[in-house]
Each structure stands twice: as structure tokens, then as C-alpha cells.
Structure 1
Amino acid sequence: MSDFALHLLRHGAPETPGLLMGRTDGAPTADGIAACAAQAGGLGIERLIATDLRRSRAAGEVIGAAAGIPLAIDPRWRELDFGAWDGKPGSAVDPDALGRFWDDPDANPPPGGERWSALVTRVSAALADLAPVPTLIVTHGGAMRAALHALCGFDQRQLWAFDLPYASLLSLRVWPGERPGAQIAGLYP
């Protein structure tokens, strides 16, 4: 099967930055939505997907309207669920527990939260369901890292080496199939 372009766009800045926002449905800023729309211009996409959370869906709606492409919603592209920490600033979480999480998020998930492997499993399933056409997904930093793990084989430590600020665009060439793979074509902060 031939390769296709996959663009992963992190949602724009939320109105309340600095929180561990997994399932928390924080609203994006107007500037954050505009930054996402600017990143998406000229990508030549045929398919557009966003999560059901406002911070990604709002940008997807604007991008879809500008490109004349319908927006599909897929909650599998959501951020990691931070459980009891969700919606809190990192400073409100026990620093030792937070450090253990960042060091090994699968062995030390947030209380009541999602394991890293569960995020990778759901993002991998979403990747497997993609049609091989140029696609833009408005998503979250954790889901972008999970996609890099699934497609490129990066381990957890390597994934933290990627700076994925709000409205950053990660472009990949994806070779679908039983064992999908990808090549990074660009990272645009």
C-alpha cells in the first residue's frame, strides 16, 4: 500500500494554561484557534479529525470551514486521562508522585487515571482505522507522542525529547499495513 501524509496538530492554548488537562474540557483561546488554523493552511488534506474536547474540536471546526472539509470527531485521539490530577496545576500534585509518573507513566499512572499503554492502545487503534489519504488530526500532546511511539518506535524517554507546544504541527509520511511505520516529515512549533 502506498504512503500518505498524516498531520498531527496540537490544539491551541487553553484559556487556563498550566493545568494537567486530560479529560478536562477547557475552552481554547481565540488566539489558540487562530494559531491552529494558520498551521493547517495549505496542507492539502482530504480528511479532518478532531477529538470531542472543545480545545481541539473548536480549531477543527474553523479549519474544516476554511478548507471545505467536514470534521469527523474521534475521542480516541484524546489526551491521557490524568484521573485525580485532571484539571489541576502540576504544583497541586505531590511532586514525588508526579516525578514517578513522568519517569514511567505506565508503571506510575495518576490515581484513577490512565496508563500510558492504554493511551498507546487507543491511538494505535485510531491509526489503524485511518484511510490512506492526506489527513489532519487536531489532537493533544500525549496522543501525538503515542502516535510517534506506535508509528516510529520511539521509547518513552525519546518521546519527551520532542517539544510540542500549543498549535505545533507534526507531519509524518505513513506506510499503513499490518505493521505500520512512518517517517517524520516536519515539526513546526
Structure 2
Amino acid sequence: MTAFLLHLLRHGAPALPGRLMGRTDCPATAEGIAACIKQVEGLSFDRLISSDLVRCADAARAIGAATIDPRWRELDFGEWDGVAASEVDAAAIGAFWDDPDANPPPGGERWSSLVERVGEAIRELAPVDTLVVTHGGAMRAALLDLCGFQQKDLWAFDLPYAALLTLKIWPGERPTAQIVGLS
């Protein structure tokens, strides 16, 4: 099968910065949406997909007509969702960052569940150049699923708000990818 490009765009800066934003549906700032639009200027894609959370969906609508897919949501932080990381027990959040699958947030989602749902969304993509407006955690989950990185190595990727990660995907039962750009 022919390879295609998958562009993953992290949403712009949220109106409530400094919080663990999983399912919390907080909009991006106007500046954050503008940064997303600027990031994709001149980018060629055939399909636009977005997480259903407003901080992604608003940016996607500003870019073009998007299909909404909730599988591209951020990790659900459970009881920590919407809370500043500094307000969470230091030992508990440290254990989470060290091994988010073994130590998920109370009432939250396991890392492996995020990787599974993002991987499912990837395997169902049509083999056309695609832009997905999503979240930092979902972008890291895609890297693990497609490139085989170890979970601990994913934190080395700097994915600030409005970051654009481009992967070349070779479709198949178990797709593979190569990173071709990160800005």
C-alpha cells in the first residue's frame, strides 16, 4: 500500500493553563487557535479530524471542515482532571509519570487504554494525507503505537501547544511510521 502523511496538531493554549486537562472541556484561547492556524499554513492534507473536546474542535473548525472523533481525546485524569499538577499529591503524581499504566490517576484512564483507542483510530484512517487536531497525550500514544517507542522515552518529545508532528505512515494490519517533522 502507498504511504501517506499523518499530521498531528496539538491544540492551542487553553483558557485554564497549568492544569491536568483530560476530559475537562476547556476552550483554547484566541491566541492558541491563531497559533494552530499559523502552524498549518501551507500544509497539504485531504482530511481533517479533531478530538471532540472544544480546545481541539474550535481550532479544527477554524482550519476547515472536520470530522469529530472522540478517540483522539486526551488521557482521562479521573479525580485529577482539571486540577493543577502542583495540587496533586507529589508521590502519587510522580508514580503516575514514572509508570502511567501501573499508576493511573484515581478514577482515571490507564495509559494502555489511551494507546489502544488512538491505535484503533489510526488503523481506521483512510490512506490519504490527514491532519488530526488532538492532545499531547494522544500524540505520544500515536508515537508509541506506530514507532514502538518505550513509554518512558515519550516524555523526551517536546510537544508544546500548537506543536505539529508529521509522520509518514505505511498502512497495513499493523501500520508503521517514520517521523518526518516536528515543529
- Smaller-chain TM-score bracket: over 0.9
Match of 1:36 in 2: 36
Q: Which amino acid aligns with 1:147?
A: A
Secondary structure in structure 2 of the residue aligned to 1:33 = helix
Match of 2:13 in 1: 13
Distance across 2 between alignment mates of 1:15 and 1:112? 24
Match of 2:84 in 1: 89
Q: CA deviation at 1:118?
A: 0.2
Q: CA deviation at 1:41?
A: 1.4
Match of 1:79 among 74, 79, 84: 74
Match of 1:106 in 2: 101
Question: Given the two structures, how large is their TM-score scaled by the length of structure 2?
Answer: 0.99
Q: State how 1:24-173 maps to structure 2 within 5 Å.
A: 24-64=24-64, 70-173=65-168
Secondary structure in structure 1 of the residue aligned to 2:180 = strand
Identity of aligned residues (%): 68
Q: Which amino acid aligns with 1:82?
A: F
Distance across 2 between alignment mates of 1:76 and 1:42? 27
1:97-116 Cα distance to aligned partner (Å, 9 max, x none): 00000000000000000000
Where in structure 1 are there 5+ consecutive unaligned residues? Answer: 65-69
Moved over 3 A (4+): none
Where in structure 2 are there 5+ consecutive unaligned residues? Answer: none
Q: Which amino acid aligns with 1:16?
A: L
Secondary structure in structure 2 of the residue aligned to 1:172 = strand
**Alignment: residue pair count:** 183
- The root-mean-square deviation of aligned C-alpha atoms, in Å, is 0.5
